[in-house]
Amino acid sequence: MSSIPANAAVGTPSPSTGRAVAWVCVALLSFSTMAVAGREVAPDLDTFSIMFYRSLFGLAVVLCILPFSRQGFSAVKTRRLPLHLTRNAFHFAGQNLWFYAVSLVALAQVFALELTTPIWVALLAPLLLGERFTALRMGAILLGFAGILIVIRPGFTAIGPGELAAMACVAGFVGTVIATKTLTRTESTLTIIFWMTFSQAIMALIMLWGLPVVPQGKAILWVLLIGLCGLLAHFSLTQAYRYADATIVAPMDFLRLPLITVVGMILYREEPDVWVFVGGAVVFTANYLTIQTARRKN
Protein backbone atom coordinates (compact mmCIF):
# COMPACT_ATOMS: atom_id res chain seq x y z
CA MET A 1 0.00 0.00 0.00
CA SER A 2 2.88 2.28 0.36
CA SER A 3 6.29 2.80 -1.11
CA ILE A 4 9.35 5.02 -0.80
CA PRO A 5 9.30 7.67 -3.52
CA ALA A 6 12.36 7.61 -5.75
CA ASN A 7 12.91 11.34 -5.34
CA ALA A 8 10.96 11.98 -2.18
CA ALA A 9 13.05 14.89 -0.99
CA VAL A 10 13.08 16.73 -4.32
CA GLY A 11 11.24 20.03 -4.10
CA THR A 12 11.17 20.02 -0.31
CA PRO A 13 9.99 23.45 0.88
CA SER A 14 12.16 23.37 4.02
CA PRO A 15 13.55 20.39 5.94
CA SER A 16 11.72 19.79 9.22
CA THR A 17 12.06 16.51 11.10
CA GLY A 18 9.31 17.55 13.49
CA ARG A 19 6.78 18.02 10.70
CA ALA A 20 7.89 14.75 9.10
CA VAL A 21 7.30 12.90 12.38
CA ALA A 22 3.84 14.46 12.70
CA TRP A 23 2.86 13.40 9.17
CA VAL A 24 4.22 9.88 9.69
CA CYS A 25 2.12 9.57 12.87
CA VAL A 26 -0.98 10.52 10.86
CA ALA A 27 -0.04 7.95 8.20
CA LEU A 28 0.49 5.20 10.79
CA LEU A 29 -2.88 5.83 12.40
CA SER A 30 -4.55 5.95 8.98
CA PHE A 31 -3.04 2.65 7.81
CA SER A 32 -3.98 0.93 11.07
CA THR A 33 -7.52 2.34 11.04
CA MET A 34 -8.01 1.20 7.44
CA ALA A 35 -6.91 -2.33 8.38
CA VAL A 36 -9.37 -2.43 11.29
CA ALA A 37 -12.16 -1.00 9.12
CA GLY A 38 -11.39 -3.56 6.41
CA ARG A 39 -11.66 -6.42 8.89
CA GLU A 40 -14.84 -5.08 10.50
CA VAL A 41 -16.67 -4.58 7.22
CA ALA A 42 -15.54 -7.93 5.72
CA PRO A 43 -18.60 -9.88 6.99
CA ASP A 44 -20.92 -7.41 5.22
CA LEU A 45 -19.07 -6.49 2.01
CA ASP A 46 -16.91 -8.40 -0.45
CA THR A 47 -13.55 -6.89 -1.37
CA PHE A 48 -14.77 -5.68 -4.79
CA SER A 49 -17.59 -3.70 -3.16
CA ILE A 50 -15.11 -2.25 -0.65
CA MET A 51 -12.84 -1.17 -3.51
CA PHE A 52 -15.77 0.35 -5.41
CA TYR A 53 -16.80 2.55 -2.50
CA ARG A 54 -13.21 3.44 -1.65
CA SER A 55 -12.57 4.49 -5.26
CA LEU A 56 -15.87 6.39 -5.43
CA PHE A 57 -14.96 8.31 -2.27
CA GLY A 58 -11.52 9.15 -3.64
CA LEU A 59 -12.95 10.20 -7.00
CA ALA A 60 -15.42 12.55 -5.29
CA VAL A 61 -12.56 14.19 -3.37
CA VAL A 62 -10.45 14.57 -6.52
CA LEU A 63 -13.35 16.12 -8.45
CA CYS A 64 -13.80 18.63 -5.63
CA ILE A 65 -10.10 19.53 -5.74
CA LEU A 66 -9.71 19.80 -9.53
CA PRO A 67 -11.47 23.22 -9.98
CA PHE A 68 -9.08 24.78 -7.44
CA SER A 69 -5.89 23.13 -8.69
CA ARG A 70 -3.31 24.78 -10.93
CA GLN A 71 -4.15 22.49 -13.84
CA GLY A 72 -7.92 22.51 -13.34
CA PHE A 73 -9.87 19.86 -15.20
CA SER A 74 -7.09 19.65 -17.80
CA ALA A 75 -5.32 17.40 -15.25
CA VAL A 76 -7.48 14.51 -16.40
CA LYS A 77 -5.94 14.65 -19.88
CA THR A 78 -3.25 12.07 -20.51
CA ARG A 79 -1.38 10.48 -23.39
CA ARG A 80 -0.38 7.49 -21.24
CA LEU A 81 -3.74 5.89 -20.60
CA PRO A 82 -2.48 2.31 -21.20
CA LEU A 83 0.18 2.72 -18.51
CA HIS A 84 -2.37 4.26 -16.14
CA LEU A 85 -4.66 1.27 -16.67
CA THR A 86 -1.76 -1.16 -16.16
CA ARG A 87 -0.76 0.58 -12.93
CA ASN A 88 -4.31 0.61 -11.62
CA ALA A 89 -4.93 -3.03 -12.52
CA PHE A 90 -1.91 -3.95 -10.38
CA HIS A 91 -3.10 -1.74 -7.54
CA PHE A 92 -6.67 -3.01 -7.79
CA ALA A 93 -5.50 -6.62 -7.53
CA GLY A 94 -3.09 -5.88 -4.69
CA GLN A 95 -5.61 -3.89 -2.67
CA ASN A 96 -8.33 -6.53 -3.06
CA LEU A 97 -5.92 -9.22 -1.86
CA TRP A 98 -4.85 -6.98 1.03
CA PHE A 99 -8.44 -6.50 2.23
CA TYR A 100 -8.99 -10.26 1.93
CA ALA A 101 -5.79 -10.97 3.92
CA VAL A 102 -6.62 -8.61 6.81
CA SER A 103 -9.94 -10.41 7.26
CA LEU A 104 -8.22 -13.77 7.79
CA VAL A 105 -4.64 -13.32 9.00
CA ALA A 106 -3.09 -11.62 12.05
CA LEU A 107 -2.76 -7.94 11.18
CA ALA A 108 0.92 -7.85 12.16
CA GLN A 109 1.76 -10.64 9.71
CA VAL A 110 -0.01 -8.86 6.84
CA PHE A 111 1.83 -5.61 7.57
CA ALA A 112 5.20 -7.36 7.90
CA LEU A 113 4.80 -8.94 4.46
CA GLU A 114 3.48 -5.71 2.93
CA LEU A 115 6.57 -3.83 4.11
CA THR A 116 8.70 -6.04 1.84
CA THR A 117 7.42 -4.12 -1.22
CA PRO A 118 10.58 -1.93 -1.60
CA ILE A 119 12.74 -5.07 -1.64
CA TRP A 120 10.86 -6.54 -4.60
CA VAL A 121 10.99 -3.16 -6.34
CA ALA A 122 14.78 -3.15 -5.83
CA LEU A 123 14.93 -6.57 -7.49
CA LEU A 124 12.80 -5.66 -10.53
CA ALA A 125 13.89 -2.03 -11.06
CA PRO A 126 17.15 -2.99 -12.84
CA LEU A 127 15.17 -5.22 -15.22
CA LEU A 128 12.24 -2.87 -15.90
CA LEU A 129 13.61 0.63 -15.23
CA GLY A 130 17.22 0.21 -16.32
CA GLU A 131 18.70 0.75 -12.86
CA ARG A 132 22.01 -0.89 -11.97
CA PHE A 133 22.53 -4.00 -9.88
CA THR A 134 25.11 -3.47 -7.12
CA ALA A 135 26.55 -5.76 -4.48
CA LEU A 136 24.79 -3.75 -1.76
CA ARG A 137 21.46 -3.93 -3.59
CA MET A 138 21.81 -7.69 -4.10
CA GLY A 139 22.70 -8.18 -0.44
CA ALA A 140 19.64 -6.17 0.61
CA ILE A 141 17.40 -8.27 -1.64
CA LEU A 142 18.71 -11.57 -0.26
CA LEU A 143 18.34 -10.25 3.29
CA GLY A 144 14.76 -9.23 2.52
CA PHE A 145 13.92 -12.70 1.26
CA ALA A 146 15.34 -14.12 4.49
CA GLY A 147 13.02 -11.81 6.42
CA ILE A 148 10.01 -13.05 4.42
CA LEU A 149 10.88 -16.68 5.22
CA ILE A 150 11.21 -15.82 8.92
CA VAL A 151 7.75 -14.18 8.94
CA ILE A 152 5.90 -17.01 7.17
CA ARG A 153 8.16 -19.91 8.39
CA PRO A 154 7.09 -22.43 5.73
CA GLY A 155 7.03 -25.95 7.15
CA PHE A 156 6.62 -24.69 10.72
CA THR A 157 3.27 -22.91 10.42
CA ALA A 158 0.28 -23.57 8.18
CA ILE A 159 0.05 -21.41 5.08
CA GLY A 160 -3.60 -20.87 4.19
CA PRO A 161 -5.52 -18.63 1.77
CA GLY A 162 -5.00 -15.57 3.97
CA GLU A 163 -1.21 -15.95 4.08
CA LEU A 164 -1.11 -16.58 0.32
CA ALA A 165 -3.21 -13.44 -0.26
CA ALA A 166 -0.90 -11.39 1.99
CA MET A 167 2.11 -12.51 -0.06
CA ALA A 168 0.34 -12.06 -3.40
CA CYS A 169 -0.85 -8.54 -2.61
CA VAL A 170 2.79 -7.46 -2.48
CA ALA A 171 3.13 -8.35 -6.18
CA GLY A 172 0.29 -5.96 -6.94
CA PHE A 173 1.90 -3.17 -4.93
CA VAL A 174 5.29 -3.77 -6.59
CA GLY A 175 3.72 -3.42 -10.05
CA THR A 176 2.03 -0.24 -8.83
CA VAL A 177 5.29 1.29 -7.61
CA ILE A 178 7.22 0.50 -10.80
CA ALA A 179 4.45 1.89 -13.03
CA THR A 180 4.16 4.97 -10.82
CA LYS A 181 7.89 5.65 -11.08
CA THR A 182 7.50 5.72 -14.86
CA LEU A 183 4.33 7.83 -14.82
CA THR A 184 5.74 10.50 -12.51
CA ARG A 185 8.25 11.46 -15.20
CA THR A 186 5.43 13.06 -17.22
CA GLU A 187 2.23 12.98 -15.14
CA SER A 188 1.18 15.05 -12.13
CA THR A 189 0.11 13.46 -8.86
CA LEU A 190 -3.45 14.70 -9.39
CA THR A 191 -3.59 13.08 -12.84
CA ILE A 192 -2.41 9.76 -11.42
CA ILE A 193 -4.90 9.88 -8.55
CA PHE A 194 -7.81 10.80 -10.84
CA TRP A 195 -7.21 7.87 -13.18
CA MET A 196 -6.58 5.55 -10.23
CA THR A 197 -9.90 6.29 -8.54
CA PHE A 198 -11.90 6.48 -11.78
CA SER A 199 -10.54 3.32 -13.40
CA GLN A 200 -10.64 1.25 -10.21
CA ALA A 201 -14.28 2.16 -9.62
CA ILE A 202 -15.00 0.86 -13.15
CA MET A 203 -12.91 -2.28 -12.51
CA ALA A 204 -14.88 -2.99 -9.34
CA LEU A 205 -18.19 -2.59 -11.16
CA ILE A 206 -17.03 -4.99 -13.88
CA MET A 207 -16.03 -7.61 -11.29
CA LEU A 208 -19.38 -7.12 -9.54
CA TRP A 209 -21.38 -7.19 -12.79
CA GLY A 210 -22.47 -3.65 -11.90
CA LEU A 211 -24.09 -4.65 -8.61
CA PRO A 212 -22.03 -3.57 -5.57
CA VAL A 213 -23.35 -4.62 -2.19
CA VAL A 214 -24.99 -1.63 -0.50
CA PRO A 215 -23.54 -1.09 3.00
CA GLN A 216 -26.02 -0.99 5.85
CA GLY A 217 -25.79 0.34 9.41
CA LYS A 218 -22.26 0.37 10.83
CA ALA A 219 -20.86 -0.86 7.52
CA ILE A 220 -21.45 2.62 6.10
CA LEU A 221 -19.14 4.10 8.74
CA TRP A 222 -16.43 1.51 8.06
CA VAL A 223 -16.60 2.15 4.30
CA LEU A 224 -16.26 5.90 4.85
CA LEU A 225 -13.29 5.30 7.13
CA ILE A 226 -11.61 3.13 4.49
CA GLY A 227 -12.06 5.84 1.87
CA LEU A 228 -10.87 8.64 4.16
CA CYS A 229 -7.92 6.75 5.65
CA GLY A 230 -6.83 5.42 2.27
CA LEU A 231 -6.38 8.96 0.93
CA LEU A 232 -5.06 10.40 4.18
CA ALA A 233 -2.43 7.69 4.68
CA HIS A 234 -0.78 8.16 1.30
CA PHE A 235 -1.07 11.96 1.41
CA SER A 236 0.50 12.06 4.89
CA LEU A 237 3.37 9.78 3.92
CA THR A 238 4.05 11.88 0.83
CA GLN A 239 4.09 15.02 2.99
CA ALA A 240 6.53 13.36 5.41
CA TYR A 241 8.95 12.70 2.54
CA ARG A 242 8.71 16.37 1.58
CA TYR A 243 10.00 17.44 4.98
CA ALA A 244 12.65 14.78 5.64
CA ASP A 245 14.97 12.40 3.85
CA ALA A 246 13.94 8.80 3.19
CA THR A 247 16.57 7.60 5.70
CA ILE A 248 14.53 9.36 8.41
CA VAL A 249 11.00 8.66 7.23
CA ALA A 250 11.35 4.98 6.27
CA PRO A 251 12.40 3.78 9.75
CA MET A 252 9.47 5.67 11.27
CA ASP A 253 7.12 4.13 8.72
CA PHE A 254 8.17 0.70 10.00
CA LEU A 255 6.64 1.61 13.36
CA ARG A 256 3.33 0.56 11.81
CA LEU A 257 4.33 -3.05 12.54
CA PRO A 258 4.49 -2.76 16.36
CA LEU A 259 1.51 -0.38 16.28
CA ILE A 260 -0.72 -2.81 14.38
CA THR A 261 0.48 -5.61 16.67
CA VAL A 262 -0.82 -3.68 19.68
CA VAL A 263 -4.08 -2.96 17.83
CA GLY A 264 -4.48 -6.67 17.04
CA MET A 265 -3.83 -7.61 20.67
CA ILE A 266 -6.37 -5.12 22.04
CA LEU A 267 -9.18 -5.51 19.52
CA TYR A 268 -8.83 -9.11 18.35
CA ARG A 269 -6.77 -10.81 21.07
CA GLU A 270 -4.09 -11.71 18.55
CA GLU A 271 -1.06 -13.14 20.32
CA PRO A 272 2.15 -11.36 19.26
CA ASP A 273 4.45 -13.68 17.33
CA VAL A 274 8.12 -13.03 18.10
CA TRP A 275 9.10 -14.37 14.65
CA VAL A 276 7.03 -11.67 12.95
CA PHE A 277 9.11 -9.08 14.79
CA VAL A 278 12.38 -10.86 14.02
CA GLY A 279 11.43 -11.11 10.34
CA GLY A 280 10.22 -7.52 10.38
CA ALA A 281 13.57 -6.36 11.78
CA VAL A 282 15.39 -8.24 9.01
CA VAL A 283 13.10 -6.70 6.38
CA PHE A 284 13.67 -3.25 7.90
CA THR A 285 17.45 -3.73 7.66
CA ALA A 286 17.12 -4.82 4.04
CA ASN A 287 15.00 -1.78 3.20
CA TYR A 288 17.45 0.53 4.94
CA LEU A 289 20.29 -0.91 2.84
CA THR A 290 18.15 -0.32 -0.26
CA ILE A 291 17.74 3.33 0.72
CA GLN A 292 21.48 3.68 1.26
CA THR A 293 22.06 2.25 -2.21
CA ALA A 294 19.71 4.84 -3.70
CA ARG A 295 21.50 7.66 -1.81
CA ARG A 296 24.91 6.53 -3.10
CA LYS A 297 23.56 6.45 -6.64
CA ASN A 298 22.15 9.97 -6.28
Residue 7 in contact with residue 189, Cβ under 8 Å?
A: no
Question: What's the pLDDT tens digit per position in 59-114?
Answer: 999 999 999 988 888 889 999 999 999 999 999 999 999 999 999 999 999 999 99
CA atoms within 13 A on the CB side of 46: 9
Q: Tell me how many domains the chain contains.
A: 1
Range of the domain at 230: 17-297
pLDDT of residue 20: 86
Number of other residues whose CB lies within 10 A of the CB of residue 119: 24
In the chain, % of residues over pLDDT 70: 92
Helical pair 17-41 and 256-268, crossing angle rounded to 10 deg: 40
Q: Is 37 helix (H, G, I), strand (E, B) or coil?
A: helix
Is 249 a domain residue?
Answer: yes
Binning pLDDT at 50, 70 and 90, where does residue 298 land? low
Calculate the average pLDDT of the chain: 87
pLDDT class of 210 with cuts at 50, 70, 90: confident
The pTM is what?
Answer: 0.88
Q: What percent of the chain has pLDDT over 90?
A: 50
Report yes or no on 12 lying in a domain: no
**Looking at the domain assignment, is residue 161 inside a domain?**
yes
Name the band, by pLDDT with cuts 50, 70 and 90, for residue 7. very low
Chain centroid to CA 246 = 16
Higher pLDDT, 126 or 217: 217
Q: Is 157 helix (H, G, I), strand (E, B) or coil?
A: strand
Residue 2 domain-assigned (yes or no): no
Question: Considering the domain boundaries, does residue 6 fall inside one?
Answer: no
Q: How far apart are CA 34 and CA 223, in angstroms?
A: 9
In a domain, 147, yes or no: yes
Which has the higher per-residue pLDDT, 124 or 224? Answer: 224
Query: What is the torsional sign of CA 92, 95, 99, 104?
Result: positive
Q: Which of 98, 222, 109, 215 is CA-nearest to residue 159? A: 109
